[in-house]
Structure 1
Amino acid sequence: MYSLLGVRKKQIAKMLFYENMTMGLIALVLGIAIGSLFSTLSTELLLNLMGIPMDIHFEIPMNAVINTSIVFSVIILYTSLQGFRLIYRFKLIELFRAEKQGEKAPKNSPILAILGLSMVILGYYFAYNFIDYVEKINFLMLALLILISTVGGTYILFHFFTVFLLRHMRNNKNSFYNGMNVISTSQLLYRIKGNATSLATISTLAAVTICSIGISVSLYSNIEDMTKGVYPYSYTHTVIDANKEAQVDATLEKHKSKHQISHDYLLKTLEVKGTAHENTIKINKTELNENTTITVISQSTFKDFAKEFNYNNVKLNKEETVALTSELSIKIKKQFGDLQESNNTKVTMSDGQNLYTYKIKEEFPYPTKNLFSDTFIVSDEQYEHLKTTSKEEITRIINVENESDSKSLTADLKTIIDNKEMPLYDYYTPYQQGIEGSGMMIFVGAFLGLVFLLAMDQSFILNNYPRQTKINLITQSYIKSELQIKK
């Protein structure tokens, strides 16, 4: 328009440059202002998701403002220079004819169309049944197969399957010439070639965003159960020093108003030389040393332990034993198929002179301490015999109320007993770490998903509004002509 009025290209380029710079700077200022207003709210939301109690005050971080201004100023300057160069790259007649130049009809390939659809189905099938196939296929190979099938299949699907589908719709004459289908189908067919890559990219990114948010929400909602599967007790530690135990008692008494004690139990076990193995493997005494130890508990001690924590009692024959482990450990073994049949798994232990082999009858989710650890039940007589050559350990198991909010109590206990000789395995620390990690993932995933959604909506509107306007004009003229014909 300006060229038709006689304005020189140099002047038009300057106008376009200044216009783009002005609009960009205005958007940058408004974005920083709106972002500053909502920064406190978003920070409070993040801290709530992470379970961190903290008072937030309104503040405008100048470093963030400066960095944002620099980055977006460079982007705005680059786009403005691109617009400046655009005026010199094309002639006036080319700009007028740009919108009238039609796109060529895309090539139809039924083989690639079927291949793309098959790759997408295959990729999502393996992703849905990942656990079932991870044993049969290498983990990295399976992950690579899913990635290539889903991403590559999506691009092939949009480039060829959509063309195949639209051509099939066009060949159906009854449907194609019914109403406005001739216009809409033709528009899609001739426009799909230029938009297939962007549509495939949007679909892939949307799938990644939805999956990441879904996984984050699932982890966040199940973090308590997952932590309980590994840390079933509020606190467990090995008793070494009576003075320190007195300090622990005093600390528990100090926090008694908020954290009532539901269990405080002393469990006696032995650390003996031994290992669990398959039925076909034979163990020699030379293979057992101080680095290959197992934990054993007497049958009478376990009976009292089970009564304290409402576990079911276990009856054993002379050559049988039971493995006591964490609930999550059993679930993982069952899920991945590592849990052997009870008659195919044994445990062998040594008193320094003789070897004793027991058949593992079953595994029960009755852990004797926090973290992954297996404890085996033996008869009282065998326990007393092994006690003569092994060191007996006493594990203190403590359960308190409101353990998910026991930051202060945990910190006080760690000042007393959290060291290499006397480590404290508590529930609160991994629980809080899980909440913080999954909360951060939810916040970042939701934020990026929202930004991505707004950006894609804007891109669709800017790209399709002129085309939609043309279609509306054609539709109106078509309706008018139809009405005139009927009259």
Structure 2
Amino acid sequence: GLRKKEIGRMLFYENFLMGLGALVVGILAGTLLSKIFVTILLNLINIENIGGFAFSWDAVIQTSIVFLIITLFTSFSGYRIIYRTTLLDLFHSEAKREKSPKPSFILALLSLLLIALGYTIAGQPLESKGSIWIKLGLPVGALVILASVIIGTALFITFFLPYLLAKLRNNKKLFYKGSNIISTSQLTFRISSNAKTLIVISILSATTLSVIGTISSIYYQANKSAGTTAPSSFEYVIPKDAKTNNTILKTAESDPEHPVEFKEESTYYIVKAKETDLDFIEYNINEGFPVISESDYNELVKKQETPEDIVQLKDNQAQMVLSFTYDERSRNEMVGEKYTLASPGSPTVQIKSVVQDSPLGNVQGLLVMTDKQVAQIATDKNIPSVNLESISIKNPKKAQELDEKLQAVVPKDSMLLSYTATYQEIITVTGVLLFIGMFIGFVFLAATGSIIYFKQLTEAYNDIGTFDILQKIGLNRKDIRKTLAKQLLVVFLIPLVIGILHSSFALIGLSHMLALDLTMPVIISTGIYTLMYIVYYFLTLNSYTNIVVGKK
């Protein structure tokens, strides 16, 4: 006797109260766990745990507003569905599931070709000769990968998997073995009825894993990034006042926990070239080539433990040391180039070799020349020269106090470059990004597992009658659980495997672009993702079995 309006109102109240209850529980749980997450964040950004328990009313109000809006929206949506749907349709809603498209060999094959195309482009190094990236360009290449993989995934789940199962049904020996006749038939229907959900979850899982892998890789590469920016623990332009410089050196040697490993003084000269069409970023920044002698350069890279950069030159030969990232093709094109310098004797030097990363952080790029030719350059007093002091200490990551002392005594015009400060800055930015990315990412991955879990339980209640018939014709609990295990395994494996494969190839492409080693962070994030899905799989299997068969 209830009217649709009254039924809709009941559903509205039910949804709203459930949402309100979830909000209250979430705020209480978040408040209790906030201290743990703050501790994790502080550890990630290399800051000692400070402060105690904190409660923010602003956070509670903002969270409440957002989730109340979402709850009201879903509640009104439910009310609207009830009001616009007949009671007969509501009673038979479980019969209205996604229709299975007819298996198509052409579309099944197309799905594999599209995914293979995306993987092939992503897997190609940017700098390789004949690379598709070079032909297409970075933006177009990325769009082609996204389009081919997304469309390929949709076709793979919608057409390839049903086509594969249809072929398995044609294999009579396998089809009639044990309970395969039941599991295969139900699996086809299960994949078809969940196709849209599986497509969305697969693509979003791949995106989430890619983001987590990228952010964590950048975080774990903080040491390398800081070392590239600040090759020595401390580096500064030597002040003209000798007393000030002595104070700086004594301060650097004042911390017994961070003893000085080496000190090295280097001199470079800003020399212009007579050519006017130079296209080097480093040259334009410095308004000339920063020229350093072979002996100063070799001594510094030797003490910085990068002996592979040591160079041996002859007169009129030079090594180009780059600070900015150039692709291999551009670096190779620099070798053999000749430049005439506006210095005594107007020497014309030829680039013998090109290396990346300068041993001096305060100067963008270097041109290494023989001691003899640099000494000749030094005779021209009109050519600007800069004297740098490079200091290396033990364990510079933890030398915050020493860094603060040096910041206080080094004049601003000496441009102190500190590995400690650089590392802390990088790890703070990337640590915050890593915390946000992993927190939201793993919450999202848990949500995708929950979507599959609840969707399968909904189908379980609809399948009670089917499994009741199977029990009557002789299947016991063990047989039914075995049948369900096969079906649910495929349902969980589809987004798991597709997500891991897509993210792996996406991260391979990113590793080529960013020149980062993504192996370990990818293994960790993928392992956690897999573990979460294993837990959801067994949880779903147990719940599904208890629903259709009953608890023991």
Q: Which residue of 2 aligns with 1:154?
A: 153
Match of 2:436 among 441, 444, 454: 444
- Quote the Cα distance in structure 2 between the aligned partners of 1:267 and 1:339: 26
Alignment of 1:265-414 (within 5 A): 265-274=264-273, 292-302=287-297, 305=300, 314-324=311-321, 333=326, 336-340=328-332, 344-351=336-343, 354-363=345-354, 367-370=358-361, 372-380=364-372, 383-388=375-380, 389-414=382-407
Residue-by-residue CA offset, 1:200-224 (whole Å, 9 max, x unaligned): 1111111111122222222222221
Identity across matched positions, percent: 32
Question: 2:331–2:354: 8 Å Cα contact kept in structure 1?
Answer: no
Q: Which residue of 1 aligns with 2:202?
A: 203
- Quote the Cα distance in structure 2 between the aligned partners of 1:203 and 1:141: 23
Residue-by-residue CA offset, 1:114-158 (whole Å, 9 max, x unaligned): 222211122123223243433343111111122212222212222
Question: 1:296–1:378: 8 Å Cα contact kept in structure 2?
Answer: no
Q: Which moved more, 1:162-171 or 1:468-477?
A: 468-477
- Quote the Cα distance in structure 2 between the aligned partners of 1:365 and 1:92: 72
| Distance change >3 Å, CA 232–CA 102, structure 1 → 2 | closer
TM-score (structure 1 length as normaliser): 0.84
Count of matched residue positions in the alignment of Structure 1 and Structure 2: 463
Q: CA deviation at 1:237?
A: 1.8
Question: 2:270–2:286: 8 Å Cα contact kept in structure 1?
Answer: no
Q: Which residue of 1 aligns with 2:248?
A: 248
Q: Which moved more, 1:399-408 or 1:337-346?
A: 337-346
Question: 2:315–2:373: 8 Å Cα contact kept in structure 1?
Answer: no
The answer to whether structure 1 residue 216 and structure 2 residue 225 are counterparts is: no
| Distance change >3 Å, CA 289–CA 142, structure 1 → 2 | closer
Question: 1:231–1:426: 8 Å Cα contact kept in structure 2?
Answer: yes
SS in 2 for 1:135: helix
The answer to whether structure 1 residue 22 and structure 2 residue 13 are counterparts is: no
Match of 2:92 among 84, 97, 118: 97
Question: 2:94–2:462: 8 Å Cα contact kept in structure 1?
Answer: no
Q: Which residue of 1 aligns with 2:447?
A: 455
Q: Which moved more, 1:465-474 or 1:370-379?
A: 465-474
Question: 2:267–2:386: 8 Å Cα contact kept in structure 1?
Answer: yes
- Unpaired runs of at least 5, structure 2: 477-552
Question: 2:273–2:342: 8 Å Cα contact kept in structure 1?
Answer: yes
SS in 2 for 1:446: helix
Question: 1:106–1:189: 8 Å Cα contact kept in structure 2?
Answer: no
- Computed over aligned residues only, the root mean square deviation of the Cα atoms, in angstroms, reads 3.2
- Quote the Cα distance in structure 2 between the aligned partners of 1:282 and 1:15: 77
Q: CA deviation at 1:476?
A: 5.1
SS in 1 for 2:331: coil
Residue-by-residue CA offset, 1:219-259 (whole Å, 9 max, x unaligned): 22222123223321012222233143244234324x42332
Q: Which residue of 2 aligns with 1:80?
A: 75
Residue-by-residue CA offset, 1:21-59 (whole Å, 9 max, x unaligned): 222211111110001001111111111112122413111
**Structure exhibiting the larger radius of gyration computed from Cα positions:** 1
- Unpaired runs of at least 5, structure 1: 1-5
Question: 1:103–1:190: 8 Å Cα contact kept in structure 2?
Answer: no
SS in 2 for 1:337: helix
Letter in 1 for 2:181: V
Q: CA deviation at 1:405?
A: 1.8
- Quote the Cα distance in structure 2 between the aligned partners of 1:290 and 1:24: 58
- Quote the Cα distance in structure 1 between the aligned partners of 2:366 and 2:436: 38
